[in-house]
């Protein structure tokens, strides 16, 4: 099992807006084969204004299949681009982590 985790560094005070945008994306993601996701916000530890979005998939090949299939769907691409345009002004940076569940 693989967990993909994206850690977003929101602009100061914008973590709530980032969570809202991520939850807007969930039905789009699921409609195009994505699994259910989890969302986390920091507890004012380390760097603040962080939002984590993560989901599980069976393997790297299943993750690749989800992303590849979605990116070839015109409806997904249109919806994603519109959604992403609203997300990026809220962020300073983001990283992606892939974790093996042991």
93: confidence class by pLDDT, cuts 50, 70, 90: very high
Please report the pLDDT score of residue 47 as a whole number.
76
Q: What is the DSSP letter of 13?
A: T
Q: Rounded CA gap, 17 and 90, in Å?
A: 7
CATH number of the domain located at residue range(s) 2-100 in this protein? 3.30.70.100
Q: What is the pLDDT of residues 16-69, one digit of tens each?
A: 999 999 999 999 999 998 999 999 998 877 778 999 999 999 999 998 998 899
Element (H, E) at 92: strand 91-100
Measuring CA to CA, which residue among 61, 57, 53 is closest to residue 83? 53
């Amino acid at each position: 099992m693989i967990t993909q985790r994206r850690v977003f560094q929101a602009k100061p005070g914008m973590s709530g807006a980032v969570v809202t945008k991520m939850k807007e994306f969930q039905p789009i993601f699921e409609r195009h084969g994505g699994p259910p996701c989890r969302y986390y916000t920091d507890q004012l530890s380390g760097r603040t204004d962080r939002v984590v979005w993560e989901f599980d998939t069976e393997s790297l090949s299943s993750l690749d299949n989800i992303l590849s299939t979605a990116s070839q769907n015109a409806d997904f691409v249109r919806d994603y681009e519109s959604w992403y345009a609203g997300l990026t002004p809220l962020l300073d940076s983001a990283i992606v982590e892939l974790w093996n569940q042991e």
